[in-house]
Chains A and B, each alone.
Chain A
Amino acid sequence: MTVIDEKNKVEYLILKIMKLLLMISITMSIASVIIEISFMDQYIISEMVNTNLLGIDLLKFLAILALFMIPVIRLSIMAIEFYKSGNYINVMTESVVLIIILVLSARIVI
């Protein structure tokens, strides 16, 4: 019973976070499209839209960042939960994949 509860807890946590991040990404993308096609970026909120991060405007950056965070956060949650339950092989695999992703991201930022 304990094993099933642990499994459900991890799944529930992953589900909640994935849902939230996906919604953020979709909302930001819709906002970005609306602002761009309505030419609002030239008038009302130009400061916000013209803010560039890594050469991307703010809303698109947030949409991509939210998508990026989905696998990153779920890998982190899984690594922590596997560590708690003593599945050290799974902890190792999750950590290696997480490190690969973080190294690739660091290459973009630096």
Chain B
Amino acid sequence: MRVEILFFVYILSTSFIAGIIGSLLGLGGGIILVPALTILFDMPIHEAIGLSFIGVLVNSSSSSLVYIKNGITDIRLSSILEIGAAIGSIIGAYTALLMESNILSIIFGIVLGYVAIDMYRKTRTMKENNIKRELNSGEKREYFEESTKKMVKYSLLRKKEGIILSSVGGIFAGLLGVGGGAIFVPIMNRIMNVPIKVAIATSSFMIGVTSLVGMLIFFNNGFINVLIVSPIIIGIFFGAQVGSRINMVINIKLLTNILILVIICIAFRMVMNGLEIEVFNI
């Protein structure tokens, strides 16, 4: 069985765009890829989630290379949180398999809405360097801050809470085929006292595990269409590379605001799809 060339090109370009947007917003490809595959290609949401796991795995590995090279990833922290995230991802993936497509679509729309709001909040309060972090208790850690050329010290707090809450991130990752970074990053940053840069890098590193767990479960249940795996891998990889380069040369704040609006529209469309209400056809 072969795939039409034009369909190949469409999937490749969709993954490429998902990779660019994901990389620009630091979200991974899944949050764009799942709605794109369901809305544009009428793909069943379970199949879209299955393919999204592969895209997220590629994106996570590709961005982790950069973060590890720059020494930002906290490998020891990731190893502690991964256990909760992996277990959560198993729960999430099996729950997704039991759920109706409509309900899954509505949940996806709601989570997308939350992500958009969270991103909007972040763009208004991005003053990480001014934040005085707790240094007197907990495990002492440090990383090299490229912009100031200094070592930044921080203390790791509330590890137990972090492990428990990371399983919530894992559940969402397994349920929706997204990386879970939108949940892992706030957990590390706000609860565990980890600087935002380290939190993003560590989350990106951890996502590899959650997406692999989801991928294996979906593959075992026949929800990964192997015929279109290749264009997704290529599209997401090159999209992420282009996105990270665009990130350095354009006004990211303006672009982020535009993309937030796009995400809100997608979220609305996903909820309407779930409710089986026709809003606009693409």
Contacts and interface: CB of A to CB of B under 8 A. Distances in A.
Interface residues of B, number: 41
Nearest to B216: A104
Given A26-B237, A29-B230, A36 B8 contact: yes
Given A22-B58, A67-B54, A104-B216, A11 B230 contact: no
A18 interface: yes
Interface string A59-75: 11001100110111011
Q: Which of B65, B76, B212, B213 lies at the interface centre, i.e. has the most chain A CB atoms within 10 A of its CB?
A: B212
A89 B79 CA distance: 9
Given A63-B230, A71-B209, A18 B79 contact: no
B83 A89 contact: no
Given A15-B65, A67-B54, A71-B209, A10 B75 contact: yes
Nearest to B226: A56
Contacts of A33: 8, 12, 230-231, 234
Top 9 nearest A-B pairs (CB, nearest first) are A104-B216, A29-B230, A29-B233, A93-B83, A71-B208, A32-B230, A90-B79, A56-B226, A97-B86
Interface of B: 2-3, 5, 8, 12, 54, 57-58, 61-62, 64-65, 68-69, 71, 73, 75-76, 79-80, 82-83, 86-87, 90, 208-209, 212-213, 215-217, 219-220, 226, 229-231, 233-234, 237
